[in-house]
Structure formats: C-alpha cells, structure tokens
Amino acid sequence: MASTGVLPFVRGIDLTKNDFSGYFPDHVQDMTGLRWLRISHSNLKQIPAEIGALNKLEDLVMVHNEVESLGENLPNLPALHSINCRYNKLTDAGVPKKIFMGNDLSIVDLSHNKLTEVPPELENSKSVLVLNLSHNQIEMIPNQLFINLTDLVFVDLSNNNLETLPPQMRRLTSLQTLILDNNPLIHAQLRQLPVLTALQTLRMKNTQRTLINFPTGLDTLTNLQDVDLSHNNLPRVPEALYKLDSLKRLNLSNNEITELSLMIDIWTKMETLNLSRNKLKAIPTSLHKLASLKKLYLNNNQLDFEGIPANIGKLHNLEVFSAAKNNLEMIPEGLGRCGKLKKLVLNENRLITLPDILHLLPDLETLDVRANPDLVMPPKPQEAKTASQYYNIDFSLNTQLRLAGAQPIPSSGQTPSPKSDPVARKLRLRRRRDGQESEKVLKGMRDVAKDKAEGRSGKDDEEREPLKPKRWDENLHRPQLDYSEIFDEDVGQIPGLACWEIENFLPNQVEDGLMGKFYEADCYIILKTFIDESNSLNWKIWYWIGNEATLDKKACSAIHAVNLRNLLGADCRTIRQEQNDEDEDFLALFEHGVSYIAGGRTASGFYSVEDMEPEVRLYRATGTQSVHMERCPVQVDMLDSRHVFLLDVGAKLFLWNGKKSNLVTRTKSRLIAEKINKNERKGKAEIIQFGQGNETAEFWKQIGGPPESMEVTTSDHSDVPYADPRLYRVGLGKGYLELPQVHIPKNRLVSSLLDTKCVYILDCITDVFVWIGKKSTRLVRAAALKLAQELHDMILRPEFVTIYRCLEGTEPQIFKSKFCGWDDVLPVDYTRTSESIARRGADMKVIMEKDKMQTDLSALFMPRQPAMTEEEAETLSSEWNEDLDGMESFVLEGKKFVRLPDEELGIFHTEDCYVFLCRYWVPVELPEGEEDIDEEDLPEDEFKCIVYFWQGRSASNMGWLTFTFSLQKKFQALFGDKLEVVRQHQQQENLKFLSHFKRKFIIRLGKRPLGRAPASMNGDENKSKPAKPSTELFQLRANGSPIATRCIQLEKPDAIWLSPRFCFILMVPFDSDELKGIVYVWVGKRADHKEAQIAEEIAYMMYKDGFTIQMINEGEEPENFFWVGIGGKKPYDEDSSFMHYARLFRCSNEKGYFTVSEKCADFCQDDLADDDVMVLDNGEQVYLWVGKKTSDVEIKLAFKSAQVYIQHLRNKQADKPRKLLLAMKYKENKKFIKCFHGWGKHKEVKDFKSLLPTIY
C-alpha cells in the first residue's frame, strides 16, 4: 500500500487516456473500496489482473480499447453490476459464460465489437435492465433471451444483420426504449410492439418499413414519445401515428411522403418534427395547433410560399425552422411572430425578399439565406436602426438630417403608436417595486406639512441655538482593551522618564541605565511624566524606530504608543522618531545623549524563513498561436535547433533559441519568462537570452556541459508526441474519495473549467499541478495533495517530475501556459492619466459625448445640380470668347515645345502635353461720378494672360517639369504679374477653357503622329513608315453642360458601348491607297439634334482626304462595313436615364474628420481616389467603390453613409428605389462603367520602393 494511506478510501477513479499498453499500475489493487473504475482510451489489450482484487467494484467502463477477451477475473467480482466494453475487439469466444451467472448484473454494453451471436449464457442474467448489442454482426436473437430477461428497460439492437425478432419480445412489458436502426427487417411484421405498453422511444431507421409491413396497433402505445422512421419507403404517414397524442419527437425524413393529413392537430405535445427529404408540396393549416413545437425541419421538399400555412405565427415556442432546398419565393410574415425563433435556415431556395419583421426577433442567432441569387434583404425598421452606431456616430436618417440643417422626414411606413404603450406599462410595473421607499417619502412630507400647520417650524428654528461641532479628538472612539496585560498599573504616576523595548509583539520596560542606548534593529517607546502649571500630571510620548528594525517591531511600537496614551487618558499625540532624524526635544530627554548599538537586543515576533535551494528545470517551448511549455530532463542532449528552451535556475532564467526556431515562439517564450520574473520572482531574477552558438559558460555549467560534438542539431526526444492533459476533480464524501475526470472540449484547456469551490489535479505527465480554489474546504485540499502523490506514482513518468501546489489567483506561469486564452493582461487605458481625469472627469459617457466624432454628410442631402440649358451655355461661352483677344497653342515634342498647327487645334492625345497662351481683355472700372465721360477719353482696357497646361491621362509628369523650367520662365519674363498658370488634366478642364473650342474638343488615344510636324521640328518625314491604321470609335457626350462636350476615342471598338442617347463616330480603314476608309456618324434615336450636327463637323474635321463620311441613324446600320468594322452586331444597353440621376460622392478624412463631398456633374474616371471610398448613384443602383488603399474605418463609415443616402432617397424619390452594391477597383461592372465618359484602364502610380535596390 502507498505511504499516503488514502487508496483504501477511494471509491471511484477515472484513468481514461492513460497509456497502459505495456503495464498496468499495481496501486489499483490497493483500492479495496473502489466502486467504479473507468479505463477508456488506454490501449488495453486484455483485462488487467489487478481488477480481480476489487471485490467491491460495481461499475466497470473500458471503452475504446483493443480488448479481445473479458478474461477470467471479471466473473469473480461479486458486486459487479455494470459492464461497458463498447468499441473493442470482443469476439464470441472472448465473452466468458460465468460473467452472466451473477444476480446483480444490470447493465451490459457490448456494442461496437465483433460478436456474431448473442452470448448464450446472457439469458441467465435475469436482473439485466440495459442491453446494448448494437454495431455487431449478430444475425439472430435466441427465443430464450427474452423469456428470462423480462425486466429490460433499454434494448439497442441497431446496426446488425437481424431479419426478424423473436415473438417472446412481447414479454418485455417494462421496456421503455427499443432501437432497431439499420437492420434488414423486411419480413418482420413486428406484431410484438403493441404489447409493449411502457415503450417511450421506438427507432426503426432504415428497417425497410412500408405501409404493408408497418406494425398495426401502434396507437395502443399511449406512452410513446419518440419515433424515428427515417430512411424507409413510406409514401404517407401511417394512420397509427395520427392517433398518438403523446408524441414529442417524430422523424420521418428520407421517405416518399407526398402529403400530410389535417389530423396532425392531435400532436399537441410535439416538440421536434423532421419531414426533410420527402416530396411534400404543402403543410396542412392545422400545423398551428402543435403548440409545443420547438423544431421543424422541412429541408429538401417541394414547398413554395403557399405551401407554408400563414398561421404558423401561432407556434410561439418555435425555435428552429429549417426549409432549405425548396421552392420558396417568400416566407409567411407570421413566421416573424415566433418570438423564440433562434435558427432560420432558408438556403438554396428562390427567395426574392423576406419580411422586415425578422429584424425584430430578439433571440434570432442564425439566418442562413445562401444560394438565393435574387434575394433582396429588407431594410431595418425605424425602431431597430437607433442602435446602429459606428465609432460613436449616430447614422440614423433623422439625426443626420438634423445635423445637416434639414427638416427630419418621417418614414413612409411609420404608423401611429398605439394608445397602450407596453414599454411604458413595464416601466410603471417596475416602479411599483419601490413602493416601500415612496411610502417613506410620503410619510416624511406629511410630517413636515403637519409641523408647518401647527406653526412650530418657524419659531423653533429661530430659538434654537446653533450646535457646536465636536473637536477631532472627541470624535475618536478608544477601544475597550485590557491594558494590564501590556503595561503595569502604576505606569505614568511618578514624574520622570520610562522606556520600553518591543519584543515578540509586546513592550518590555528597560532599566534606567540602558535609557538612551538604542539598538539599530530595535524599536522603543519613551514616556515623559511631568507636573504642569495646574499641579496635575501630564505626559509626552515618543516611539523610536531603528534603521534595521523589522516590520513587526515598527508596527507594534506605533500601536502600543497609542495604547499607552489611551491607558493614561492623555491628550497628547504620539511622536514618531527615526534613527539619525530625532528632534531637539527628544534628544534633550537624555542627559548623556543618545548612542547607537549595531544589531538587535530583542527577538522578532515573525518566523524566520529559510530560502530553499531552487530546483533547476528545463522547458521546451513549441507552437506559435499558443506556446506549449513541456518539462524536459536537464540534459544537454535535449537541446534541439528547431525549438526554444527555457532553463530556470531560480535567480536566472536562460532562454536558448535554436537556429531553426520560429521567431514568434522566441518572442512569446521571452514574454513567458518576463511574466515568471514579474509574478513569481518579484522582478529579482535575471533573464538571459541568447541564440544557438552564443551560449555562456554558466549556461553550460547548469545544463551539464556542452555536447561532445560541440554542435547542437536535432534531438530524438523532440519527436516524442506530447501527452494530452488530464484534469481530475477531487471529490470528498462521508468516508470516501472520488477522482473523476473533467471533460475537456476539443482537448483544449480553458480556465472556465475550474470552479473556485473545488480542487483539481492537472496531470500533464511531465508536470502535475494541484489547483486549489479559494472557497474549497480544508479536508478536500489535504486529500487532493495525497491523491496527487498517488497519481504521480501510479502513472509511468520521468523521474524529474514534481508536484506543484497552485492557489487560485497565484498560479505559476507554467500552469497558465497549459490553458488556452489564460491572459493576465489587464485592460488599462494608458491615456487616462490623473491629469486628464481631473480635467475631463471620470465618467466615460460624458467624455464620449464630448469626443463624439465630427462628421459632415450634408452633401448627401443636397439636391442634384441641375443641368445647364443650351441658352445659358451659349450666353456664357460668348462672353468668355468676347474677352479672348488671342490664343497661341504649343505641343511638347521630345524635350521642347513647338507650335501646334492650326488644323490640329482642338485635337488632343492622351500621351501628349499641350500649352495654350490666352490673352484676355480686362475692362477698367471707372470711379463713381465719371460714368458719363466720352469714349475718346476712356482709359484703355487692361489685359491678362492665362497659360493653360493640358496633360493627357497617359502622359508623364516630365512635360510639366519641362514647361516649368523652360516655357513658363519665358512667359513670366514677358508678362510679369499679368501671367497666371493653370494646370489641367484630361477630362478635368474648367468650362472657360472648354468654351474656346466651341464644343469640338477631341481626345484621341496614344501619341500625336510626328508626320504632321512642320520642318522646323528637326524631324524627318520619311524616317519611319506610319503604322497600319486600325478601327477607331469615338463617343460624343456632354456632362452637366453643353460647354463640356467632348469627343473621346474608346479603347476597344465594340457594339456594347452604343447607346440611343449619344452620337458615335466609327472609322473603318481600308487597305487601299485611293480610299483610306469609311467614316460613319451614328446618331442614336434619342440623341440631341445639335450634337448630331457637331458629330458630323468633327468627322469632317478629323478625316479629310481619302475618307468617305456617312451619316446613319440607329437601326439603319449596314452590315458592311459598320457591323463588321465594330466587331459584330451585339445587344447594347438602351437605358440612358442615368444621365438625369448620375452623382458621384467622395468619402474621405482629408479634413481631419469623416466628410462626404460631391464631385461636379462633369466627373471622370480619374476622380476615383484610390485611398478613398466613392459613392456613385445612377438612378437604379448606389455603388460603393472601394480603392486599394482605403482604410477599414473609411469603408465602414462610407457604408453607413450610403445606407443613410438610400433611406433619404426612399422618401424623396419613392418611384426610383435604389439597391446598394459593391464595386471593387479593377472589378467594376458595365452599369458602373457607363456613367463615365471614355472609360479605360486605371491610371497607375509607380511605387517608388520598386525603384530602390532590393536591400531596402
């Protein structure tokens, strides 16, 4: 027997997940009082012989082992009444006959084995209540079995090869559960079932049931609650089931059922109904009478909207509704009235929308609507939107309208609140609970009113004298102590000095000769007694503290000085004196002065603690997500270059990093060492970290010297898999101990498994911890320590393993590392300093309200800028052109600017840069009173020069630099202060510049051909042959104003770009010297007549000699050469209503806070900022365009802003509902692209880091 002596008192132990393949602990036979034993997942191949000595053993569980025979010891156990040996390799010969001869055997579980027949002697065990023979190869049940075993309550014969059941089963009148799943019972009529009147659970899954062989008379089983008839061939629900009003769970899945009867209303107690994978087209309207229904499964049927009854909302207890893989276009709105609904599964249907009442379900946890491509989620009701706040910003529509200065608009679906407000009623009921407090207040008010009525209050208050406040010393309450045990009775009665020294918490009076001679490690109390002016005794009290005094002496000297004052009844205060810091009055007490003596004269009251020699421990750290610290023997051959090792020698912590170890493991191991030093060593230990090859001599000394080869590589010990942790809970009863295991979910320890009222033993093979809860009893703690020692000796483990005692709240870091998510980091707001709290207060709600993020969403609520009319554009253009005195144009060729030929004026190229020098007349403003001067005497008008620098999308910035350092300096020298330089990018020109081209602004792709250059440009016309011409397609379009009309060449000619709203120019080249090609001016059905004329003029302007120009209307296109030249006839989008609704918003933080600004109506592709979020409205959809460099905060705020915008439009434009869509950069769809004129590839800015050497 073990030295602790607790094994005989152990009543139960769980040794699951211990490897007993090579041995079995002999400690088990010492547990003479053992009643239950569990040895699962232990690699046992036979029944251990030690179990034969357990004469009191009642319950034996040996699940998931490799046992082939029950042996000869089990039949000798007289008290055995439960055998659970499922998931083993038992054969017919491995089950001894004698084991069933006992009279107390009540539970027999031999499932998941290799039995081919029922053990023949089983019929003799008449006391069996539970019989489980499932998952074997049994083909027949002997008739004699159920003749004797008439007390059976639970029988599981599933997953065998049974074709029939013995008729003697009718004798099982006490049977409550019968499981026959997965047996070929095609010929079994099961006429025995109606006799089993106590039956509650009947499972016949996959037993080839049909309406012909379905047992008749099943309706007589009035106690039947659970029926499983899944995976059979039932075309309809058997009539007998409609008569069972006691059913709670019914599984009819995987059958051929086509309809349900209205008689299901008898199932009033039904809680779970599974009708999945059938052929149902409708559910009867009497479904609402299943008042107790909690789970309804209708997956994989043929249900549509009309097939689900509208009164389903009366199922108030419904928690799960699953109708996946059906034909549902909509679900009844009544389903949203099931207030307890937690799970709603509707994936793979034809859903179009859902009732908005689903947003109000309080307990809804899962809403699965996957694989419904046409589904549009309903908007949240107004009541549910108030709580949706991001970053302390209220994105409700009324709030944002109020911030923008607009009038809040009530939602169209808003209904007047009912007269009886249920929330207000609950608040009133809650206030009634405080009725007692309100009665006290009313009573006090009545008393005050009564006193005023009697006329007492006024006079009494005047006559009453003000109360004098007590002095501070009068408020002190002196404790009632017996001071005779501390001081003598005559102390302080004779004038003079008295001195006490502190010894063992109490004062001892010092002889007169030793006064003034103080030991540095002691504390003293000095009393001076004298006669004052009134001839009465008075006192002064000091207590002196030496520099080397212990804490108990310091505290007791101060405490007993106060006790002395209380004993004497003195009014003086006790004065503290410290060594080398005494005042003059204290030093004057001693005639010969004060002298200090090293050491101490008296003993301390504390116990002296001897420092134990620390144990040297070595841990191997593995893992990255959570570092696992595995204890290892302190040997040099344990080091492995793939891991990190922690060597703990007490005062020093060595961290050894292998060459191949992970950086994250190194960092987290260092953090563990820091926590060990801070929490367990109080910051006094030294952490030394070094890599492989940089070891110190002290490290090699502690670990046993360097390896013989002087080089650490890999170790065979590191390949040994870690043992799974086992957590035991120590149980203590009247005269017995129990050690059950705690189930560890997913084999991951979490701190929530530990209960503060209990004591646990954590066995990690290389470490054994005893965790003691704060509220556990002392007896359980003592028993746990002894059981831990027995468990330590019982399991094979290395010699270096020690047992750690861990108190709740002071757990060592190694123990915490065994648990997932056990983090001691406290959430500390380092921004909350004492100064900030004093300045701003401590209430976080007030601070959050003051620091509420500023936002500006007013642009979303502004109306769209109206388009400029033709008359307004002509007036404005004529005014600007009248002021224009002249315009000179230049183009960049090579590294110099040359004049642009007049025939190319208005034709721009995307890879070129142009300069336009415009001279404007500026009229002189006359002073007041001089308006009537003759025209001859008027002063001359002044002029102003504006230089426009135009840069194409594909042109580099070298053109701008060339202009800045060459041409701009020449212009500045000529015009001085009258010069203004304006830089303009393609499609971002201002209207004044565009007006000078009179709506003939052409943008071609590529670079300007040098063949047109004059001779002064240092170019050779015959230097290179021109490239073979290709098909060109131009689109003429005006955005926001007729002045902003541009004719832009599209990148790829394709019929999908055509639109009835615009005019297009198509040039189809010919391979001929005489006729270069044909030009089509395509005019859409709804195109403006003026634009058609401009398109024709532009065609003649671009293509002069050798081209044939032809005007064609939409629908009159020739097959040759229009459709052939454009790439074939294709369908194109005929809807151009987006021109009346298109708006582009930019969401950014450039102002220091989140703001939404609107781009002008003449927006282009380059307005899409890569580091911001853009919101595009085309009248049907609202796109959220996200750049590649956009922050997550901007995306979230822009998403909420788009929702507010759509909600606002729902009130303003109810006939044009919008749908919110996402458009990622590079993945824009056609409906998004068509809002931009001349869409092409995104302009890419080269990353400067790619130009640096690879070292950066």
Same domain, 964 and 902: yes
Q: Which residue has the higher pLDDT, 598 or 71?
A: 598
Last residue of a domain, one of 571, 597, 623: 597
Whole-angstrom distance, CA of residue 1153 vs CA of residue 1173: 14
pLDDT above 90 for 252: yes
- Among residues 376, 248, 265, which one has the least CA distance to residue 311? 265
Residue 635, sorted as left (phi over 0), alpha (psi -120 to 50) or beta, turns out to be beta
For residue 213, being part of any structural domain is answered with no
pLDDT score for 720: 65
Single-letter code of the amino acid located at 605: G
Q: What is the mean pLDDT of residues 849-857?
A: 75
Q: What is the mean pLDDT of residues 454-475?
A: 56
Instruction: Identify the weakest region by mean pLDDT among 95-104, 410-419, 630-639.
Output: 410-419
pLDDT above 90 for 177: yes
Same domain, 21 and 119: yes
The two three-digit tokens of residue 463, written as one number: 């006559």
CATH number for the domain including 666?
A: 3.40.20.10
Tens-digit pLDDT profile for residues 253-279: 999 999 999 999 999 999 999 999 999
Place of tokens 């998941």: 112
For residue 43, being part of any structural domain is answered with yes
Q: Which residue has the higher pLDDT, 763 or 926?
A: 763
Neighbouring residues of 914: CB distance < 8 A, sequence distance ≥ 6: 889, 890, 891, 892, 900, 908, 949, 950
Same domain, 706 and 668: yes
pLDDT above 80 for 288: yes
Q: Which residue has the higher pLDDT, 422 or 48?
A: 48
- Among residues 721, 827, 852, 778, which one has the least CA distance to residue 392? 852
Place of tokens 């004059």: 1014
pLDDT above 70 for 299: yes
- Among residues 160, 155, 225, 138, which one has the least CA distance to residue 192? 155
pLDDT above 90 for 359: no
Give CB contacts under 8 A, 24+ apart, made by 1208-1213: 1208/397, 1208/401, 1208/409, 1208/860, 1208/861, 1209/1177, 1210/411, 1210/412, 1211/409, 1211/411, 1211/412
Q: What is the mean pLDDT of residues 55-68?
A: 92
Same domain, 1220 and 1184: yes
Q: Provide the 10 A C-beta neighbour count for residue 387.
A: 9
Q: Tell me the pLDDT band of 186, cut-offs 50, 70 and 90.
A: confident
Tens-digit pLDDT profile for residues 210-235: 888 888 888 889 999 999 999 998 99
For residue 865, being part of any structural domain is answered with yes
pLDDT above 60 for 442: yes
Same domain, 29 and 108: yes
Q: Tell me the pLDDT band of 514, cut-offs 50, 70 and 90.
A: confident
Last residue of a domain, one of 995, 1015, 1036: 995
Whole-angstrom distance, CA of residue 28 vs CA of residue 49: 10
Same domain, 1141 and 1226: yes
Tens-digit pLDDT profile for residues 570-618: 888 899 999 999 999 999 999 888 999 999 988 888 877 777 778 899 9
DSSP string, 270-327: --EEE--SS------GGGGG-TT--EEE--SS---GGGS-GGGGG-TT--EEE--SS-
For residue 1217, being part of any structural domain is answered with yes
The rounded Cα 233 to chain-centroid distance in angstroms is: 46
pLDDT score for 1221: 93
For residue 266, being part of any structural domain is answered with no
For residue 340, being part of any structural domain is answered with no
> By residue range, what is the domain housing residue 809?
742-825
Q: Which residue has the higher pLDDT, 1246 or 841?
A: 841
Instruction: Identify the weakest region by mean pLDDT among 379-388, 593-602, 736-745, 1017-1026.
Output: 1017-1026
pLDDT above 60 for 827: no
Q: Tell me the pLDDT band of 113, cut-offs 50, 70 and 90.
A: very high
Instruction: Identify the weakest region by mean pLDDT among 485-489, 1053-1057, 1160-1164, 1228-1232.
Output: 485-489
pLDDT above 80 for 408: no
pLDDT above 80 for 900: yes
Q: How many helices and strands, by DSSP H and E, does the chain display?
A: 22, 54
Q: Tell me the pLDDT band of 1042, cut-offs 50, 70 and 90.
A: very high
Q: What is the mean pLDDT of residues 446-457?
A: 71
- Among residues 985, 1069, 986, 987, which one has the least CA distance to residue 1033? 1069
Q: What is the mean pLDDT of residues 1158-1172?
A: 92
Q: What is the mean pLDDT of residues 182-204?
A: 88
Same domain, 40 and 92: yes
pLDDT score for 213: 86
In the chain, what percentage of residues exceed pLDDT 70?
88
Q: Tell me the pLDDT band of 423, cut-offs 50, 70 and 90.
A: low
Look at residue 1183 and give its three-state secondary structure: strand
Q: What is the distance between the terminal CA atoms of the chain, rounded to a whole angstrom?
A: 71
pLDDT score for 735: 83
Same domain, 864 and 958: yes
Last residue of a domain, one of 566, 597, 628: 597
Same domain, 13 and 75: yes
The burial of 642, by beta-carbon neighbours within 10 Å (0-12 exposed, 13-18 middle, 19 or more buried), is given as middle
Q: Where do the DSSP E strands lie in 373-511? A: 389-390, 393-394, 496-503, 506-509
Q: Tell me the pLDDT band of 1016, cut-offs 50, 70 and 90.
A: very low
Same domain, 680 and 560: no
Please state the length of the chain: 1256
Place of tokens 């319950």: 59
Q: Find out whether 566 and 555 touch, Cβ atoms under 8 Å.
A: no
- Among residues 779, 751, 783, which one has the least CA distance to residue 770? 783
Secondary structure element (H or E) that encloses residue 693, with its range: none
Overall domain count for the chain = 7
Q: Tell me the pLDDT band of 928, cut-offs 50, 70 and 90.
A: low
For residue 325, being part of any structural domain is answered with no
Same domain, 890 and 989: yes
Residue 300: C-alpha distances to residues 38, 346, 354 (Å): 43, 11, 20
Q: Which residue has the higher pLDDT, 190 or 760?
A: 760
Whole-angstrom distance, CA of residue 275 vs CA of residue 258: 10
Same domain, 11 and 35: yes
Q: Provide the 10 A C-beta neighbour count for residue 349.
A: 25
Average pLDDT over the chain, rounded to an integer: 86
Single-letter code of the amino acid located at 297: Y
For residue 3, being part of any structural domain is answered with yes
In the chain, what percentage of residues exceed pLDDT 90?
52
Q: Which residue has the higher pLDDT, 497 or 1120?
A: 497
